[in-house]
């Protein structure tokens, strides 16, 4: 599996989120730190139905993620971020906002105003203790490491993280159609169907790309045939 493809990070983050709550609709997830916007977290939260606020001072990274669809809005002040997010949280609409100001200043302002997100995802950063629940994740060799909690959740379903390479975007569309058709019979399998229907919106595929997804061994054999 190619470690550089952002789908891998996003799929792992998606697993960490949905194993703890079936849907993030109406919930605000928070993260901070340089290049936090490039972790795949905004896409993972949106695919899970939630809203995201990121504090990322790295303007170049933020703009790059925004151009590829991984972020919905980029703002400069906390007031702007709150204005964009509050209605979407209330309406249970997926949305991500990156705030490019100095994180230490914004964190102090959030504490002063009593802003408390539902979740904080800390990836290689010291948690802020602002959120009701904090999920701390580690990165090794450039990849987020799945927690035992997520691995157990996948094992219970006999799902394995799988990379299916494609040569063109047309091939990828065909692959997605095959995968979607194979999951139709899985009535309760909303998580994989949600992933397939939304991932291309938040992470536009490269010319030579592929699809990351969880599959059982029998599903892997069927797709390969």
Domain boundary among 94, 125, 144: 144
Same domain, 35 and 140: yes
User: pLDDT digit string (tens) for 54-93?
Assistant: 999 999 999 999 998 899 999 999 999 999 999 999 999 9
Same domain, 192 and 127: no
pLDDT at 82: 95
Identify whether 1 is part of a domain.
Answer: no
pLDDT band at 143 (very low <50, low <70, confident <90, very high): confident
pLDDT at 142: 76
114 touches 76 (CB < 8 A): no
Same domain, 138 and 167: no
Same domain, 107 and 17: yes
Residues 6 or more apart whose Cβ sits within 8 Å of residue 146: 12, 15, 16, 154
What total of structural domains would you count in the chain?
A: 2
CATH number at residue 105: 3.40.50.10730
User: pLDDT digit string (tens) for 186-215?
Assistant: 656 889 999 999 999 998 776 678 999 999
> What is the C-alpha to C-alpha distance for residues 107 and 19, in angstroms, rounded to an integer?
28
pLDDT at 207: 61
User: pLDDT digit string (tens) for 160-171?
Assistant: 999 999 998 899
Same domain, 140 and 44: yes
Range of the domain at 53: 6-144
Same domain, 84 and 175: no
pLDDT over 80 at 5, yes or no: no
DSSP assignment of the chain: --TT-HHHHHHHHHHHHHTT-S--TT-EEEEESTTGGGGSHHHHHHHTT-EEEEE---HHHHHHHHHTTS-SEEESSHHHHHHHHHHHHHTT--EEEEE-S-HHHHHHHHHHHT---SEEEEESS---S-SSEEEEE-EETTEEPPPHHHHHHHHHTT-EEEEEE-SSHHHHHHHHHHHHHHHTT-TT-HHHHHHHHHHHHHSPPPSS-EEEEEE-HHHHHHHH-
> What is the C-alpha to C-alpha distance for residues 97 and 74, in angstroms, rounded to an integer?
6
Same domain, 53 and 157: no
pTM value is 0.93
User: pLDDT digit string (tens) for 99-112?
Assistant: 998 989 999 999 99
pLDDT at 2: 54
């Amino acid at each position: 599996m190619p470690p550089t493809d952002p789908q891998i990070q996003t799929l792992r983050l998606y697993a960490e989120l949905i194993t703890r709550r079936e849907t993030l609709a109406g919930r605000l997830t928070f993260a901070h730190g340089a290049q936090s916007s490039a972790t795949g977290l905004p896409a993972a939260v949106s695919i899970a139905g939630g809203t995201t606020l990121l504090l990322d001072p790295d303007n170049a990274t933020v703009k790059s993620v925004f151009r590829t669809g991984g972020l919905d809005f980029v703002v400069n002040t906390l007031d702007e971020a709150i204005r964009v997010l509050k209605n979407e949280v209330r309406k249970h609409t997926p949305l991500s906002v990156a705030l490019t100001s100095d994180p230490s200043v914004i964190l102090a302002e959030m504490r002063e105003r009593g802003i408390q997100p539902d979740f904080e995802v800390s990836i290689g950063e010291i948690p802020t203790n602002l959120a009701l629940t904090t999920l701390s994740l580690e990165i090794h060799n450039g990849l987020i490491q799945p927690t035992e909690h997520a691995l157990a959740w996948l094992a219970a379903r006999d799902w394995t993280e799988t990379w299916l390479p494609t040569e063109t975007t047309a091939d990828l569309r065909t692959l997605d159609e095959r995968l979607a058709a194979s999951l139709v019979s899985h009535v309760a399998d909303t998580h994989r169907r949600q992933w397939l229907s939304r991932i291309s919106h938040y992470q536009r595929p490269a010319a030579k790309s592929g699809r990351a997804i969880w599959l059982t061994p029998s599903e892997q054999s069927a797709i390969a045939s």
